[in-house]
Amino acid sequence: MIKKLIFALSFIMAITITAQKINDTDTVTAAAEKLRTAMISGEKSALESLILPELTYGHSGGHIDDDKEFVEKLVTKKSDFLTIDITNQTVQIVGNTAIVRHHFYATTADAGKAPGDVTLDILLVWAKVKNDWKLLARQAVKADKKK
């Protein structure tokens, strides 16, 4: 009887953990989508609500922004995304950390310049803080435009 009870409890725990991972994957995917739209809008409160103060945001050219510089560039349109399309996204949950990879194609008009195109591969690291997922790190590398 005890063995059956232990087995049943173990089975229930496994289902609960799997369900939580699926829910976390959906929540991280939604957070990544909110980040995409906030980067286009440049809305300060939306951007700040998605990031941690310890944010390290790496650009494909090698420059690293902290949280304040990341937000300021988007709010002032120094970095101005007219469109952002994300494809081939994967989400991996490891404890309270989420690793998101995707292909990033954007049209930009940085600091009022004529529109340009950006094609990148992105790695995002999200940390779970209470019940919210916050961006902790991002790194971009230049990508093949054919992806």
Q: What is the pTM of this model?
A: 0.83
Locate all alpha helices (DSSP H) within the chain, ordered by sequence: 2-41, 44-50, 67-75
Residues 124 and 56 sit within 8 Å (Cβ to Cβ): no
State residue 43's pLDDT score: 98
All structural domains of the chain, each given as residue ranges with its CATH number in brackets, are: 2-142 (3.10.450.50)
Q: Can you list the residues of the chain whose pLDDT is less than 50?
A: 16-19, 147
